[in-house]
Amino acid sequence: MRLQIFDVEHGACSLLTADNNMRLMIDCGHNSDTGWKPGTYLTQQGIRTLEMLAVTNYDEDHASGSRDLFANIDVKWLWRNKSVSGPTLRQLKSDTGMGPGIERLCDAIENVYTGGTAGSPDPVFQGLVKRTCFYNNYPAFDDENNLSMAVFLDCHGKGVMFTGDLEKPGFAELLKNQGFREALKATRVYIASHHGRESGCSEEVAALLTSVNYVVISDKGYEHETQNTMAFYRKIANGGPFRDEATRHVLTTRNDGRIGFNFSADSWGAY
């Protein structure tokens, strides 16, 4: 089983390929500097079908490659915060404006994946990937960041947690859920919320991340003060080998480019 975390600047896009070659993409950002786009990349790999797309956050940087993805790839399932309907998403974007990626995603929600998803995709993964999601409901929260969907993947017993752009108020509410707390305890790879910004650093969450080896930050350059949180995340992570380095704690797409993890029943590691 392989997880790839792509370099999409201050965006998000990852791909999990299960042992049966079924695929789950988490977010679908793109890289404007290099021209990398998720649908084009999959096509170049000879892939025409994506079993599931998970959307963790309803902001453009998590969906900027959606037009390319839907144009090139048959996306079977959509996994998202279902408390946010298409019209609600349009309303949430009425103040700041809706980018083309979110516009395309919104169109898919309204016209293809009506009701939120097209059904349960679990049989596709044949139990190889155990998946759980946690999110706050609209209208209890009415901002896109705290409506982010946290995605927990159990990959051969190794937990991977994606947290979208959750901020401290959203985390505080999710922490009332014992299942979310247990998932944090089982997490070995933690994808930092909000691209590493301070607003996504929760001391309460950090206290539960006792098994984490690697924290991954998807960011670009010295923007939004993401580098100011490196010490916070380095303190959380237990560390592990990465490429030619004996021990790394925090990995960033800014410095490391595309980041990968392999998982098997007997071992796992970063590359």
pTM: 0.95
Query: How sure is the predictor about 61, in pLDDT bands with cuts at 50, 70 and 90?
Result: very high
Residue 271 belongs to a domain: no
Average pLDDT over residues 227-255: 95
Q: Residue 37 is part of a domain; what is its CATH number? A: 3.60.15.10
Instruction: With cut-offs at 50, 70 and 90, classify the pLDDT of residue 127.
Output: confident
Q: Is the pLDDT of residue 264 over 70?
A: yes
pLDDT at 217 over 60: yes
Please state the domain count of the chain: 1
**Please, which pLDDT band fits residue 128 given cuts at 50, 70 and 90?**
confident
Residue 133 belongs to domain spanning: 2-265
Flag whether 255 is in a domain.
yes
Does some domain include residue 14? yes
Question: Do residues 15 and 6 lie in contact, with contact meaning Cβ atoms separated by under 8 Å?
Answer: yes
For the stretch 240-249, pLDDT in tens is 999 999 999 9
CB 261 within 8 A of CB 227: no
| Predicted confidence (pLDDT) at residue 139 exceeds the cutoff of 70 | yes
Residue 94 lies in a domain: yes
- Counting residues of the chain whose pLDDT is more than 70, the rounded percentage is 94
What's the CA gap between 212 and 239, in Å, rounded?
A: 8
Q: Is residue 270 part of a domain?
A: no
E runs forming strands in the chain: 2-5, 13-17, 23-28, 49-50, 52-54, 74-75, 78-79, 129-135, 149-155, 158-162, 187-191, 214-217, 240-242, 245-248, 250-252, 259-263, 268-270
Question: Does some domain include residue 163?
Answer: yes
